[in-house]
Amino acid sequence: MKHLSGPKPLMYHEAVAGAAQGYGPRLSVTSHTLGDQGIRLTEAMEQARQTTVLFADVSGVAKPYESERDPASAEAIAGCLELLRQTVESHGGRVVKTIGDKVMAAFATPDAAANAAASAQYAVDALHAAGDTKLGVRIGFHFGPVIQRDNDVFGDTVNLAARLTELAARNQIITVQETAERLAPLCRNFMRRLYAIHVKGKAEDVELCEFVWHQADDVTVFETNRTKAKLAPVTLRLKHRDREIIRRRENDSIIIGRDQGCGLVVAEDMASRQHCTIERRQNNFVLTDRSANGTFVTVEGDTEIRLRREGFTLRKHGWISFGQPRAQAKELVEYFCEENPETMAD
């Protein structure tokens, strides 16, 4: 895919620096005084009842549980979380809470969240590896109404922001088209469309966008309507015991479960009769949980996640277990999701 905004790719931090010196649109980021007597971002949010929620999830540690980590990994994680906190506050945001290796933050505007996300990626990318541990971060953010109680925030906006973080790859920033359209022109120039996902409670699929903080030659900017990315057909391979199933055609799907009528039958006590489906949506294969006990997905190199009546876009290579975590499961399905990254313009 050809880059549309000039012959030389421009990295996001260079564009921000140019804007600050008067070479481009100036970013408008509201600063807040943080402290006991300062202006509280929470008060502004409580009045407006709308905010931008951001989740940043640290990845790169092979063992996700704190009790199993070696001291070097634990120290690296703690340092990274502190770096994320400082980055959030330096961009006018507030850390709402830390959940394991994940930071939840709130910002007054989508632009402030986008700038903080890019700065966080640069900062974490610059960290030295601690032994065999090279940390990365997955970030998702979304703007919308929230419910505030004490110092915490709740609601669909928070849930969707958390979901975006789960969908993001390591070193990636994801938002939805609705939020991307609220960004200032400079930020929008570093957005590109990805694909659509189904979100529980919404009638239509939600379009995802990537905030390209480190731009390369194959990036199409968000605002173009003249060029479409064309991906070669995606191939999904599922391996279960001695059987291999391949899906590549448009509208291909498969049902997995205990029922003998399923396309792939698993003899797992914790699995439902029709446990989950995998279907092709545009150039992605999306797994949707339909079970009582949930579906567990492990993308190679990432932490295992549990799906409960929701969808997940399969990426690269990983494993699926049914009703219980992979380590405890009797039945596993290994998947390979292979995409051709080459694109071409119309």
319 lies in the same domain as 202 = no
The residue from 211, 244, 260 where one domain ends is 211
Higher-confidence residue of 7 and 167: namely 167
Q: Provide the number of structural domains found in the chain.
A: 2
In a domain, 4, yes or no: no
**pLDDT grade for 322, boundaries at 50, 70 and 90:** very high
Residue 132 in any domain: the answer is yes
The mean pLDDT value for 179-204 works out to: 83
Q: Report yes or no on 220 lying in a domain.
A: no
For residue range 112-166, list pLDDT tens digits in order: 999 999 999 988 888 877 666 678 889 999 999 998 888 888 899 999 999 999 8
- Would you state the pLDDT for residue 56? 94
Query: Looking at residue 241, which CATH number applies to its domain?
Result: 2.60.200.20
**Residue 97: predicted pLDDT:** 93
Indicate if 200 and 236 belong to the same structural domain: no
Q: What is the mean pLDDT of the chain?
A: 77
Mean pLDDT, range 205-211, rounded to an integer? 88
Residues 207, 65: one domain?
yes
Q: Are 181 and 296 members of one domain?
A: no
| pLDDT of 278 higher than 50 | yes
Is 126 in the same domain as 259?
A: no
Is residue 257 in some structural domain?
A: yes
Query: Is 173 a residue whose pLDDT tops 60?
Result: yes
Q: Are residues 77 and 32 in the same domain?
A: yes
* In a shared domain, residues 190 and 242: no
Residue 169: domain span: 12-211
Span 101-105, average pLDDT: 93
The last residue of one of the domains, among 159, 181, 211, is: 211
Position 114 scores a pLDDT of 93
257 with 173, same domain: the answer is no
Does 52 share its domain with 102?
A: yes
Question: Does residue 61 lie within any of the structural domains?
Answer: yes
For residue 223, being part of any structural domain is answered with no
Highest mean pLDDT among 53-62, 248-257, 261-270, 283-292: 261-270
CA-based R_g, the chain, Å: 21
Q: Please indicate, yes or no, whether residues 36 and 165 belong to a single structural domain of this protein.
A: yes
CATH number at residue 126: 3.30.70.1230
Regarding whether 191 and 262 lie in a shared domain, the answer is no
Name the domain boundary from 181, 211, 241.
211
In this structure, is residue 53 part of a structural domain?
yes
If asked whether residues 203 and 268 sit together in one domain, one would say: no
96 and 152 Cβ atoms separated by less than 8 Å:
yes
**What pLDDT shows up at residue 23?**
42
For residue 139, being part of any structural domain is answered with yes
Of all residues in the chain, the percent with pLDDT exceeding 70 is 73
Read off the pLDDT of residues 74-87 as tens digits, 9 standing for 90 and up: 788 888 899 999 99
Mean pLDDT of 26-34: 41
